[in-house]
Amino acid sequence: MNGNSKYKWLLFVIISILLIGRVTIAEDEEPVPSSLYGPDDHITILHSNNFDKKVYNQKKVFFVEFFSSWCGACIGYAETYKQLAKQLLQWKHVVEIAAVDCADNQNLKLCREHNVQAFPTLKYFKYMSTNANDGVDYRGNAHNLNGVPLDIAEFVYNDWIYQKPVEWPSFQTSD
């Protein structure tokens, strides 16, 4: 072999080893989903570039799941959250169901600002919220598809009592 042939052969061997190594790694690892929710799930995907604009100073409330796409509990909860979004779809003009993937590097600061310390974390943002401090941790049973909408309705009712949003249906009873 001349010098040029040896160089080509060595280059071929190195590239082959690198490619085989990559294939082996790819076969051994589970792919990490970019998100647990898609466009058909009726869940607004929030991230660091749109959170403030979509959530703050809005004439509706937001129920937001802060999750991590690699988290087993979050993956297990995703179907329940999708069902919740579907249940509350008729209230979309008052209650927006949304989610933030804290595993996405661009959202790390956002998740820290909202004091997310465990996954999933659910927060309620009132009508005309202005900052992270307006997010209230949801402490109910997040897996109870009968109870969560009632808890959200109670949050909404309290917002209506204190803020009287004219855009919302009236909760006033007629005497």
CATH code of the domain in which 87 resides? 3.40.30.10
pLDDT digits (tens, 9 = 90+) for 108-141: 999 999 999 999 999 999 999 999 999 999 999 9
Known catalytic residue: 102? no
Among 64, 71, 142, 152, the active-site one is 71
pLDDT of res. 28 = 38
Active site residue 111: no
Nearest-5° angle of CA 71, CA 138, CA 103? 25
* Burial call 158-175: b when 16+ CB within 10 Å, e when fewer: ebbeeeebeebeeeeeee
H-helix or E-strand spanning residue 125? strand 121-125
Task: Find the domain containing 149 and state its range.
Answer: 39-163
127 contacts 159 by C-beta, under 8 angstroms: yes
- pLDDT value of residue 51: 98
Contacts of 109 (CB under 8 A, 6+ apart): 48
Q: Are residues 68 and 4 in the same domain?
A: no
Please check whether residues 87 and 13 belong to one and the same domain.
Answer: no
Catalytic residue among 74, 95, 99, 148: 74
